[in-house]
Amino acid sequence: MRILEISAAAPFKKNSGGAEKFCFDLSKRLAEKGLQIEIAVPGILASLKGIRLRRIHTVKNKYLRKVFFDYFNPYSFLRIKKMIRDFEPDIIHFHNTYGLGSFNIRRISKSYPVLMTVHDLWLTNYSEDFSFINKIHTSILLNSFEKVVLVSPSKFIADELRKTGYENVKVIHNGVAVSSKKKTYNKTPKFLYVGSLSENKGIRILVDLFSKNNIGLTVVGAGPLLSYVRTKKNIFVIGYDDNPERHYLDHDILIVPSIVKENQPTVVLEAMSYGLALIASNIGGIPELIEHKKTGLLFNHRDENDLRNQLDFLINCPEEIRKMGERARERVRKEFNWDETVASYLTLYQDLVRK
């Protein structure tokens, strides 16, 4: 079977996210299963054993992209059309489509089986501030994705898609590899944040709380609030690290203070796979991953007092950190492993080819 995977971004840059990483991780595992895989991404290409990488065109200007190229991009259409002609794929699998043009996907889906892994709320919520823009946006996309199978890693996003009017929606959890390294826990809990340093991730609330309460926090990541974070006391800024394993092994608790509706954050599953306990916002798809007081703690997003209460609980009951971490690791092993994810996608691919 031949699969063309298309990502709107490549996982080689400091601002890349979980969607891009998932595209490449899934592709590598599919290739190991004997499928022929090609990946189309914008920007500079790196090598990937056994997989050909192709370049597509996206628009760097965010506002121009949002107004026009999210819906129609003639350059990307021509590039993708050539790839299809050269590679002759059985399936075309998109991972987000920013700047690629939704009309292009509509045209492609008329002739080929197309699916898209939905990594965020873009298909359902363009603007919470301007409802009339949201209505126009979703009506265009409902039409463009009429024949596209939408795969959501979380039940939350799947429900949002169905409420908006999308009908062909399936849930397949993202996979994560469980580390074989044995984790040791510190006598005094060490706290960690891994992710983008941007407003929607809640990093400002987090560093303000730790700074004024004289608690140490390690921050791994880059983004527009990097300078702000560096001004805060008790905050140890590592910067961007494309392999955060050593930080997971060295820390006990990961904090995910998102203030927007997340899908299935990769960082949550990664931390669970290393045996960290978690404190995370009770929003979006996060509660599907974290069982309160079993594999971690949930707090009301934007509620600094509630976050402080959860911190105090683990500081005062350090024995719970190991218990939560071990249960979190076991849950990932059983429910969010790569074998299950790859098997589910293979079944879906086969069903689409047979139609």
Task: Return per-residue pLDDT of the chain as tens, 355 residues.
Answer: 999 999 987 665 555 567 888 999 999 999 999 999 999 988 766 667 889 988 887 777 888 888 888 898 898 889 999 999 999 999 999 998 888 889 999 999 999 999 999 999 889 887 665 577 778 888 999 999 999 999 999 999 999 999 999 999 999 999 999 988 889 999 999 999 999 999 999 999 999 999 999 999 999 999 999 999 999 999 999 999 988 999 999 999 999 999 999 999 999 999 999 999 999 999 999 999 999 999 999 999 999 999 999 999 999 999 999 999 999 999 999 999 999 999 999 999 999 998 7
**Reading across the β-sheet that carries 52-55, which strands appear in turn?**
52-55, 36-41, 2-7, 91-95, 114-117, 149-152, 169-171
How would you classify the pairing of strands 52-55 and 114-117? unpaired
Q: Where are any strands of DSSP class E within the chain?
A: 2-7, 36-41, 52-55, 91-95, 114-117, 149-152, 169-171, 191-194, 217-220, 235-239, 253-256, 277-281, 296-299
Say what angle helices 102-109 and 131-144 make with each other, to 10 degrees: 20
Arch. (CATH architecture) of 191-335: 3-Layer(aba) Sandwich (3.40)
Rounded to the nearest 10 degrees, the angle between the axes of helix 74-87 and helix 102-109 is 30
Question: Which residues sit opposite 256 in a β-bridge?
Answer: 280
pTM exceeds 0.85: yes
Q: What is the pLDDT of residue 305?
A: 96
Instruction: Give CA separation, 255 vs 13, 51, 178, 206, 285, in Å.
Output: 23, 35, 19, 8, 15
Closest CA relative to residue 277, chosen from 308, 337, 319, 238: 319
Query: ∠53-57-58 over CA atoms, to 5°?
Result: 120
Q: Do domains 2-175+337-354 and 191-335 have the same CATH topology?
A: yes
Q: What is the pLDDT of residue 220?
A: 97
Residue-range domain boundaries for the chain: 2-175+337-354, 191-335
Written as six digits, the tokens of 235 are 């905050």
Q: Which CATH number fits domain 2-175+337-354: 1.10.357.10, 1.10.3470.10, 3.40.50.300, 3.40.50.2000?
A: 3.40.50.2000
pLDDT number for residue 315: 94
Quote the tokens at residue 284.
């979006």
pLDDT computed for residue 228 by the predictor = 97
